[in-house]
Amino acid sequence: MTYRWIDRVDDLQDAMAGLSAQQPLYLDTEFMRERTFWPQLALVQVNTGDAIWLIDAPALADPTTLAPLCAGHPLVMHACSEDIEALNVFTGAAPVAIEDTQIAAALCGHDLQCSYQRLVRELTGTELPKDATRTDWLKRPLSPQQLAYARDDVVWLPELAERLREQLAGLGRLVWWQEECQRLLDSVQAQVPAEDAWRQVKGAGHLQGVALARLQQLAAWRDRMARERDLPRGFIIRDPALLALAQQPPRQAEGLHDQGVHPSVIRRDGETLLVLLREAEQMTPPAPLPEPPDAAQRDRVKQLRTHVGKIAAQLGVEPEVLVRRRWLEALVREPEQIPAPMQGWRRTLVAEPLQEILLND
């Protein structure tokens, strides 16, 4: 199948002018994010159902020209959380609705993380090459091999979506798909406040009191700097150094090195780190993360997982499609409170039966 290469704003506007209102678009992106905080959009592949476009995003003089493509049409994509973020950062717009074929496949009984290539093979019998998965998509010109790979990423999306939609309709699970896709869209668009960035620091669960206040201060600052400087969080300061500073804060710049802070970070931000640590001494620390499950709770989680496995087997899906382990741990800690992800279609199917086991045990 041929494609149209688009690298000019007027060409893109001309192409979009032929789209009907609310016409679904089958879309994928290529982006780079190795040394930046924000994803760098390199290519947008669009299958309109009649034609394929390969849009050279960096070449567009006005990135917002892409916004109507993202926000004006329902988008059908595969494993699209990072693609949505890349589009949002580039265009400033968010999709009005998405249909993720990876989610649909999981609800039909495929692996939870089923790749696009594998799904194409299983549903159509076509073997797609994988030889351009690791490539510099920002480098120009793109090779014929790269362009063919990019085109193939959307060639089969309409057929996959239609087949999966038919299967879900037959199983009575279309509502499940809609709820899961909306939940994914909401989660991608939700921005974690800088003040809660400490929750993402590996090892944060071991801290409490003033040490946790220090970690909250440091992690919030790191998050703001990563966004401002467009660098990965670890390039600002790494997690082990954050934990060490929170537990044993030095009083002088010389002590920062002993806690694993890189010399370049000390030169640039050493004084700022010391100020943050001093300020944290006067702060009210956040509530610590929940304690890991104790032996009795682990036994209950195991009991619930066995029950979930039986339900999953009856439905022909993987147990993780129904319930994640952390949801079960939350339910075991507070049996009277059903976790938010277990509401919706999961409530009567899984959550309430598990809750009944816990409350009547």
Peptide bond before 285: cis, by omega within 30 degrees of 0? Answer: no
290 in any annotated domain: no
- Over the stretch 280-316, which tens digit does the pLDDT of each residue have? 999 999 999 998 999 999 999 999 999 999 999 999 9
Percent of the chain with pLDDT over 70: 99
If asked whether residues 50 and 112 sit together in one domain, one would say yes
Q: Tell me, what DSSP letter sits at residue 92?
A: S
If asked whether residues 167 and 59 sit together in one domain, one would say yes
If asked whether residues 247 and 316 sit together in one domain, one would say no
Confidence of residue 228 (pLDDT cuts 50, 70, 90): very high
- Over the stretch 67-117, which tens digit does the pLDDT of each residue have? 999 899 999 999 999 999 999 999 999 999 999 999 999 999 999 999 999
Q: What is the three-state SS of 146-164?
A: HHHHHHHHHHCHHHHHHHH
Task: Give yes or no for residue 1 having a pLDDT over 80.
Answer: no
- The per-residue pLDDT for 22 is 86
- The per-residue pLDDT for 214 is 98
Task: Give yes or no for residue 345 having a pLDDT over 90.
Answer: yes
Task: Give yes or no for residue 34 having a pLDDT over 80.
Answer: yes
CA distance linking residue 20 with residue 204, whole number of Å? 50
- The per-residue pLDDT for 192 is 87
- The per-residue pLDDT for 309 is 98
CA distance linking residue 201 with residue 154, whole number of Å? 36
288 in any annotated domain: no
- The per-residue pLDDT for 181 is 97
Domain that holds residue 178: 4-189
CB-CB contact of 90 with 82 (8 Å): no
Q: From 127, 155, 189, give the residue that closes a domain.
A: 189
If asked whether residues 74 and 87 sit together in one domain, one would say yes
Percent of the chain with pLDDT over 90: 93
Mean pLDDT of 232-252: 96
Check which CATH number belongs to the domain holding 163 and give it.
3.30.420.10
Instruction: Quote the number of domains for the chain.
Output: 3
- The per-residue pLDDT for 59 is 97
Angle at 122 between CA 120 and CA 124, to 5 degrees: 55
- Over the stretch 194-208, which tens digit does the pLDDT of each residue have? 999 999 999 999 999
Task: Give yes or no for residue 153 having a pLDDT over 90.
Answer: yes
Mean pLDDT of 142-159: 96
- The per-residue pLDDT for 133 is 65
Task: Give yes or no for residue 189 having a pLDDT over 90.
Answer: no
If asked whether residues 90 and 239 sit together in one domain, one would say no
If asked whether residues 199 and 175 sit together in one domain, one would say no
242 in any annotated domain: yes
286 in any annotated domain: no
289 in any annotated domain: no
Average pLDDT, the chain: 95
If asked whether residues 13 and 98 sit together in one domain, one would say yes
If asked whether residues 264 and 352 sit together in one domain, one would say no
Check which CATH number belongs to the domain holding 220 and give it.
1.10.150.80
If asked whether residues 36 and 170 sit together in one domain, one would say yes
Q: From 233, 256, 280, give the residue that closes a domain.
A: 280
If asked whether residues 149 and 226 sit together in one domain, one would say no
If asked whether residues 33 and 175 sit together in one domain, one would say yes
Mean pLDDT of 4-22: 95
Number of CB atoms found within 10 A of residue 114's CB? 20
Q: Tell me, what DSSP letter sits at residue 33?
A: -
Question: What one-character-per-residue DSSP string does 318-332 give?
Answer: -HHHH--HHHHHHHH
Task: Give yes or no for residue 135 having a pLDDT over 90.
Answer: no
Confidence of residue 62 (pLDDT cuts 50, 70, 90): very high
50 in any annotated domain: yes
Predicted TM-score (pTM) of this structure: 0.94
Bridge pairing between strands 25-32 and 52-56: unpaired
82 in any annotated domain: yes
Q: Of 94, 87, 69, give the one whose Cα is nearest residue 16.
A: 69
Task: Give yes or no for residue 324 having a pLDDT over 90.
Answer: yes
SS3 100: strand
285 in any annotated domain: no
Structure tokens at 288: 């610590």
Task: Give yes or no for residue 274 having a pLDDT over 80.
Answer: yes
Confidence of residue 134 (pLDDT cuts 50, 70, 90): confident
Q: From 143, 159, 189, give the residue that closes a domain.
A: 189
DSSP H or E run through 170: helix 157-171
Q: Tell me, what DSSP letter sits at residue 22?
A: T
At 288, which amino acid appears? P
Q: Tell me, what DSSP letter sits at residue 348?
A: I
- The per-residue pLDDT for 359 is 93
If asked whether residues 269 and 236 sit together in one domain, one would say yes
